[in-house]
Amino acid sequence: MAGRIIRHPLTVPEQCRDMRHTHPEFKCLRSHAGMSWTGRISPTPLSEVYTIEIAYRRRRPPQVWVKEPDLRVSKEDYSIVHIYAEGCLCLHEEGEWRPWMTLSSTFIPWAAEWLLYYELWLATGQWYGGGEYRVASRRSA
């Protein structure tokens, strides 16, 4: 299932099955609004271990939050490090994620990359991950 792209929008149960298969260590929570998965990742062996949460509601782009440890980013720096005002990560442009893509092959590795660039930003004061800095036309969710 890893990396598989199915050309029809995945249902919530399909995303659940994929996550169970690819990231069984992630804790899955179901609520009336949708699903969320919480798990620990560390982008490199030298990096901290981060707890992230992916919130997913059907027909809405998923959101990724870093739950632990607290991010050391002031609100003024949110745009530099690509964080939305609500505090979740801006990981893709419109059109780069499609509902037929699994979360495991997109948001989890994208978040891992973001965490690496975040540590490099803490280390050097520079954002090495590139990205678009134009004003977004939508809120994150």
Partner 1 sequence: MATEAAVAVAFNSIDELLYGICEKLQLGRSDYGFAEDCYKGIGAYLDQHPLLAQYRPEVYPQGSVRLGTTVKPRGRQEYDVDLVCELQLDPSRISNPVAVLDLVQASLASSRAYAPLLERKNRCIRLNYTGRFHLDVLPACPDLAAGGTCVLVPDCEARAWKASNPKGYAKWFEGRCRTSEQAILAKAAALPEAEAVGEKAPLKLVVQLFKRARDIRFANKADLAPRSIILTTLCAIHYTGEMSVADAVGNVLRGVLNSIALASPRRLVVPNPMNNKEDFSESWAESARYMAFLDFVREFGRNWELLQLARGIHNVRAILEKLFGEDVTNAAVEEQIRTFNRAREEQSLGLAGAGILTHVLKPQAVSIPKHTYHGR
What are the residues binding partner 1 (CB under 8 A)?
2-3, 22-25, 40-49, 78-79, 82, 84-85, 90-93, 96-97, 101, 104-106, 108-110, 112-114, 116-117, 119-120, 122-124, 128-136
Least distance from partner 1 to the Cβ atom of residue 18, Å: 11
Least distance from partner 1 to the Cβ atom of residue 51, Å: 11
3-state secondary structure of 89: strand
Instruction: For partner 1, give the closer residue by CB, 32 or 46.
Output: 46
Q: In Å, how far from its chain's centre is CA 102?
A: 12
3-state secondary structure of 112: helix
Closest CA to 47 of 110, 104, 123: 123
83 in Cβ contact with 90 (< 8 Å): yes
Instruction: For partner 1, give the closer residue by CB, 8 or 32.
Output: 8
Instruction: For partner 1, give the closer residue by CB, 31 or 74.
Output: 74
Closest CA to 10 of 105, 101, 106, 107: 101
